[in-house]
Structure 1
Amino acid sequence: MTAELVLIHGRSQHDRNPAELEQQWISSLKKGLAASSLELCLPDDKIHFVYYGDTLADLVAGVKPGTIADVIIKGEGDQNEAEKQFQAAIVEELRQQIGISDDEVKECLSVESVEMGALNRRWVQAILEAIDHHVPGASGLSLALFTRDVYQYLRNPGIRDAIENGVRRAIKPGVPAVVVGHSLGSVVAYNVLKREGNHGGWSIPLLVTLGSPLAVGAIRQALTPNHFPESVSSWFNAMDDDDVVSLYPLDQKHFPLDREIENHTGVDNWTKDKHGIEGYLGDPIVARKIHEVCCT
Structure 2
Amino acid sequence: MARVLGIHGIAQQYKGGPQLTNLWWLAMRGGLEVAGHREVADRLKDSDVRVAFYGDLFRPAGSMAGGGPPYTAADIRPGPERDLLQAWYAQAVEQEPGLGPPEGSMGPGTVAVQVMLEKLLHSKTFAGVARRALVGDLKQVTAFLTDPGIKDRVLERTAAEVTEDTRAVIGHSLGSVVAYEYLARSAPPQVELLITVGSPLGMPNLVFDRLTPAPADGQGAWPGTVARWVNIADKNDTVALRKQLAPLFPPPDGTPPVEDHLVDNGKDPHGIEPHLTSRPAGQALADLL
Q: Is the CA contact 1:179–1:189 (under 8 Å) kept in the aligned structure 2?
A: yes
Q: Give the SS at the match of 2:79.
A: helix
Q: Which of 214, 219, 226 is residue 232 of structure 1 equivalent to?
A: 226
One-letter amino acid matched to 2:88: V
1:279 to 274, 277, 283: 274
User: Deviation of residue 12 (structure 1)?
Assistant: 0.9
In structure 2, which of residues 260, 264, 268 is the aligned counterpart of residue 263 of structure 1? 260
Contact persistence 2:93–2:100 (CA under 8 A) = no
- Output the amino acid matched with 1:251: L
Matches within 5 A, 1:21-100: 21-35=20-34, 36=36, 37-40=38-41, 41-58=43-60, 63=61, 78=75, 80-95=77-92, 97-98=94-95, 100=97
Counterpart-to-counterpart distance in 2, 1:27 and 1:176:
18
Q: CA 1:167–1:32 in structure 2 vs 1: closer, same or farther (change >3 Å)? A: same
Residue among 138, 143, 157 paired with 2:126? 138
1:208 is aligned with what amino acid? I
Q: In structure 1, what is the equivalent of residue 65 of structure 2?
A: none
Once the two structures are superposed, residues 205-230 of structure 1 have per-residue CA deviations (whole angstroms, 9 ceiling, x without a partner) of: 11000111111122111113221123
How far does residue 19 in structure 1 lie from its aligned partner after superposition? Answer: 1.8
Q: CA deviation at 1:103?
A: 6.3
1:274 to 1:90, Cα distance in 2 relative to 1, 3 A:
same
Hey, what's the Cα distance between the residues in 2 that align with 1:15 and 1:183? Answer: 17
Q: Contact 1:211–1:240 at 8 Å: present in 2 too?
A: yes
For residues 235-274 of structure 1, the C-alpha deviation after alignment (integer angstroms, 9 at most, x for no partner) is 0011110111112223345xx1222210111x2214x331
Distance 2:108 2:86 in 1: 13
Q: Any residues of structure 2 matched to 1:77-226 within 5 Å, and which? A: 78=75, 80-95=77-92, 97-98=94-95, 100=97, 104-106=101-103, 109=104, 114-118=106-110, 123-133=112-122, 135-136=123-124, 138-139=126-127, 141=131, 143-172=134-163, 175-197=165-187, 201-217=188-204, 218-223=206-211, 224-225=214-215, 226=220
Q: Distance in 2 between matches of 1:127 and 1:154?
A: 22
TM-score normalized with structure 1 length:
0.77
* Moved beyond 4 Å, runs of 4+: 76-80, 99-103
TM norm structure 2: 0.79
1:278 shift after superposition: 1.0
CA distance in 1, matches of 2:83, 2:178: 18
Residue identity opposite 1:214 in structure 2: L
Change beyond 3 A, Cα 1:248–1:169: same
5+ residue gaps, structure 1, are 65-75
Mark the CA change 1:117 to 1:148 in structure 2 (over 3 Å): closer, same or farther: farther
**Identity within the alignment, %:** 27
Which has the higher mean CA deviation after the structures are superposed, 180-189 or 27-36?
27-36
Contact 2:88–2:239 at 8 Å: present in 1 too? no
Query: How much has 1:26 moved relative to structure 2?
Result: 0.8
Unmatched 5+ residue regions in structure 2? Answer: 63-68, 252-256
Cα RMSD, aligned residues only: 2.8
Encode CA deviations 1:165-215: one digit per residue, 9 max, x unaligned: 12111113x545200011111011011111222xxx432211000111111
The alignment covers a number of residue pairs equal to: 261
Contact map agreement 2:124 2:269 (CA 8 A) in 1: no
Deviation at 1:117, TM superposition (A): 3.7
Match of 1:243 in 2: 237
